[in-house]
Amino acid sequence: IYTNTNTYQRKVNLQFKKMTQLHLDGNQLKTLAPDMLEGLTGLKELDLSRNQLSSPTSDIFNGLGNLTFLNLGRNGIKKLPRTIFQSLTQLRQLSLYYNELETLEPGMFDTLVNLEELKIHQNHITSLPPEVFWSLRKLKILTLSANQLQAIPEKCFYHMPKLTQLTLYKNPLLSLPEQLMGHMPDMREFYLFETNLTTVPGNFFVNMSGLQVLNFHLNKKSNDLEYLPPHMFSKLTTLSILLLNDNKLKNLPENIFQGLQALSTLDLKNNTLKTLSGNIFLSNTGLKVLNLSENPWDCTCSIRGMASWIKLNQHLIPDREEVFCHSPLYQMLRPLHSLQDSEFNSCDTSTVKIDFRSHKDFDETTQILKPCSNCKLLVLKSALTEYDAKNSRCI
């Protein structure tokens, strides 16, 4: 039955004891009478979304033991009693999104042992009770995005082996505990962007061997991610999409993408990368799209390997014309794919270090030095006078 009203009479219940679906969404309901749903023992789907509910009573869903779908989204709910869902042991989907919840009561999901989908995004939740999700062993989708979480309790996401999608983005997270994610072999999509994180634990993804989509970019006002530990993605052998754009990544370990043979899309644009190892994408044989623009590339010797790789793999880089040098000055705005390997021949020359401890040492040493064609740099480690420094020669 679908209704469009701001009142709901109990006499309706008596006429529809065998009713399986009740849609009261999009009305102006402000309260739910205690006996409003009494007798609807056959009800399986209940939609109360897009109303003006603020404080449902703890016993409002008592007797609805066959309910599998409940939508309380887009109301003004500020708080839910701890026992409000205790009768809903068959519930599969629970939507609480777009409300004004600030807290979740400890144990409020304990009886929802068959729940597969829990959507709590777009609330004002500032903290999570420890172990609040531990009873949800069949849960597949959990959305916690767009709340006010600055921290998450240790082992918060343990005992959810069926989880396939988790969203934590748009939370002002400052850090993550070393032990957070339990065994999640079926995890496919994980979204963690627009936070205040500067790094994440090195073992963060170790239990997500089936991950396929990792949205890890932090943009807009919260682009603070600076460092990623080596091998942090090494267990994600099925990962196909990795978004790291719009961060403040300064460098990446050479082995950071090692073993990601299924990786097809990688976005590194708009970071603070100056160079990358020429071997960093060596094992990514499935790569089809790589974005590298809006980084301050330094086109000196350290970029040689990367420039050679880009030249050979231009077809993988759709923004290649925007991937250009920011330094040194004479290379500024030059596309990396235009750099020739022969331009780096001087990088093969040696560096000579000499420690001048006295003027006498200087005089004696200059008598020994012979002209050399491959001398790139002479480092003077002493307090030479301006005259000495001016007359010292790289010979």
For 255-313, write each residue's pLDDT tens digit: 999 999 999 999 999 999 999 999 999 999 999 999 999 999 999 999 999 999 999 99
Cβ-based neighbours of 342, under 8 Å, separated by 6 or more = none
Q: Which residue has the higher pLDDT, 356 or 38?
A: 38
If pLDDT is split at 50, 70 and 90, which confidence band does 35 have? confident
Cβ-based neighbours of 107, under 8 Å, separated by 6 or more = 82, 129, 132
- Domains 1-148 and 200-348 agree in fold: yes
Inform me whether the pLDDT recorded for 1 exceeds 90. Answer: no
pLDDT digits (tens, 9 = 90+) for 382-394: 333 333 333 333 3
Residue 98 carries which DSSP code? Answer: S
Q: How far apart are CA 162 and CA 241, in angstroms?
A: 21
pLDDT at 18: 81
- Helices and strands (DSSP H and E) totals, the chain: 4, 16
pLDDT digits (tens, 9 = 90+) for 75-130: 999 999 999 999 999 999 999 999 999 999 999 999 999 999 999 999 999 999 99
Q: How far apart are CA 57 and CA 264, in angstroms?
A: 49
CATH number of the domain at 200-348, please? 3.80.10.10
Output the CA–CA distances (angstroms, integers) from residue 342 to 129, 376, 391, in the order listed.
61, 16, 32
- Homologous superfamily (CATH) of 1-148 is Ribonuclease Inhibitor (3.80.10.10)
pLDDT digits (tens, 9 = 90+) for 315-371: 999 999 999 999 999 999 999 999 999 999 999 764 434 343 443 443 433 333 333
Cβ atoms within 10 Å, residue 179: 13
Domain spans, the chain: 1-148, 200-348, 349-391
Element of type H or E holding 46: strand 45-47
pLDDT at 223: 52
With b for 16 or more beta-carbon neighbours within 10 A and e for fewer, the 124-140 pattern comes to ebeebeeebbbbbebbb
Q: How far apart are CA 314 and CA 324, in angstroms?
A: 13
Q: Are 162 and 138 in contact (CB under 8 A)?
A: yes
